[in-house]
Chains A and B, each alone.
Chain A
C-alpha cells in the first residue's frame, strides 16, 4: 500500500477527470425553529459539487457552514429545496434509504474527530463497514487496515483514541471516512482543533486523497491559506452564498 503522507511532497499526478454532479442543492433553505426565535441558517442556497472536485467553504462563525455540510451529508432535511445525489432527488427517501446512501457514498470528518473512545483504532475505522450488508469480518478488517495504511497509521491499529495525538486522531477519522470507499468526503473544519503543523499534514492528506484517489472533497475551513490550495472556494455570509 502506498503511503499518501510519505509522498505528499512529490509531484502530483492529476486525477482522472470524472465529470457530472455528485451533489446538487437547489433553493435550499434551512430554518431552525426554537421556542423563542427562528434562525434562518441557510437562505436560498444553490450549489453543485462535481465529481473529483476539492471545494472549500469559508465564512464567519454561525453563517451556516456546518448546517450546509449536514444537509449535503443527508444527516438533516432542508426546510425547503431539493438535494440530489448522483442526479436523484432524495426528498422522498426514507430514513433507511438515507442511511444506506450515507453508508455507500459519504464519508464524514469532524472538527473534534468524534472517534468512539471505547473502540480501538481499527474498530473505529471499521464502523462504516459494519453497516454494509453482507460484508464479512475478514473483509472489514482488511479494508480498515488498508485505509489506515493510506493515512500512515497501520502501526497503531490496536491503540485506543485516548492514546493518540490530535493529528493522529484526525488521521484515524479520515481513514474511517475512507474505509467505505465513498464518493465524497465532507470535512467540517478538519484542522480546526490542530496546530498549524498537524493542520498542514491533514490538509496534505486530503489533497492527496482527492488527487490520487479521485475522491470528491468538500471542506469547511477558516484558513485562507488552505482554501487557496483547493480548486474552488465558496464563501458564505449569514446563510447566503456570497462568492
Chain B
C-alpha cells in the first residue's frame, strides 16, 4: 500500500488526548489525570498498516453477549405479539384507531400507510414516544430547561402541565465546543449583525442573497480548513444531499460506508450513480470493492466507471467511531478515485486545534477532494460547507441546487460561525477556543474511561466525543430515558431504524461546556440507573473493528 508522502509531522512522539500537545496549558482545568491507560489494558492497539498512523488508534466494539441478544429478541417477540393483538382489535373496532388509516372510499386501494415500519411506529415506538421530542425552553448549553408534559392516553397525545424542569444536565446536544450560548462574544456579535442586516436574506446566493458576510465566511472557512476555497450553505443536510448529485451522475460509482448519515445516502441515491456499500470502516472491504470496480467496470457494458467517489464520515454519530482516514487516503491514491469526507461531527471536535479528522491524523487537507462539514455542531450555529480546490468550488457554485435554489444563510447565523471559528483559531486574541478543544478532549477521555470502568458496553474510538452506551432491550430504551430525566439528566436514546434492531443505545455527546462536577453527577446517576436496569453488560471482551465478521455478500448489494 502506498504511503501518503506529505504529512504534517506536528504530532509529538507522545500521543495525548485528542492529539493535544499539552504545552501552553498550565494546570489541568478539571484536574484529570491525563494519558493514564485504562486499568484493564485489554484494548487492542490496532497496528494494521501501522506505518500509516502517527498515533494509536484505539477503537473497539465489544461483542453483544449471547444471552442479552436472546433476551432482546424475546422482548421484541412479546411486543410484536401484542402489536398484532392491538392491530386486530383496531381492525375490529374494539379499540379506537389513532393512527393514519385509509379513507373509507379508498379501503380497497393499495394501502398507502401500511408497512413494517408503520407497525413498528404504531405498536413499539408509541409505547416509549415520551422519551423523544421533549420540548426544551432555553439555550441548549450544558444545562437546559425542559417543559414538563404528560400523556393521559399512553403517548398518543401530550399535554403540557405548564411547569418547567429546570437545570437538566444536557448530555444530548451536539454542542461539542460549548458555543451554543445566549451570552458572550458570539451572541453580541450576532446581535450587532442582526440589527444591521436583519434575519432573513430573501434570495439565493446566485441572485440578491450574496452578502459580504457570506464572502467573509467562505474565506475564513477555507483558511480554517487549509483548502483553496470553500462554500457555505444554509443547511447541512442539504449540503450533502444536493452536492453529491452535482458531482457524480449516471455511469459513476459511489462507494459508501454502511453507516453513513441519511443525508449522504439520500444524496447518493439522488445522483443516479451506482452505489456499493462497504462494511463500516473496513478497509479490506473497501479495497475489494475498489479493485472489483476497476477490474470489471460497469455491469453489462464493461466500460470503465467514469468516476469513483468514496463517501465517508469523520466521526460516525451512532457508533462513535473515527474513520480510518490514512488508509482511506492511501487506497484512494492507489486506485485513483475521489474522496468525499463528511466532517459534520469531527470539525472542531478533533485534532489539537479543532481542524477535524484530517488534523487528528496529521494528514494534508489537499488529499481529501471534497471536505464537507456542518456548522450545526461545534460552532453552535446552522448550515454546512464544502471545501476543496478552487475549481471544485467554482463548479459547485453554478451546479449545486442548494446554491442556486436555496435561500442563503441568515446573517446573524453567519456572524455566529465567524466569531466562533475565529475563537477556535485564536484570532480573537485569546486562547479560549483552544482551551475548549482541549477541555473537550479531556472530558471525552474522562467520561469514556469512567463508563468503561463501571462495566458498560461503550462503542467507538476513545477520542470520539460521541459516546454510545449500549442498552439493547426495547423496554430499557424507554426506562433509561425516563429514569435519567427523573434524575435531572437529559439523554438521547436511539433505537431501530437508526440502529440495527437489537443494538439500541443511549448516546451521550460531550461538550467543553461540561464541568467536572456535571460529568461526575451524570456519571453517578448513570451508574445508579445502570445498576437499576442491569445495563453493565461488559465482559471486557473487545473485538477490534477489523476483526468484526466480514462477509463478502455486501458488495453486490446494489448492482445497478
* A and B part of one assembly: no
Residues of A within 8 A of B (CB): none
**B residues lining the A interface (CB < 8 Å):** none
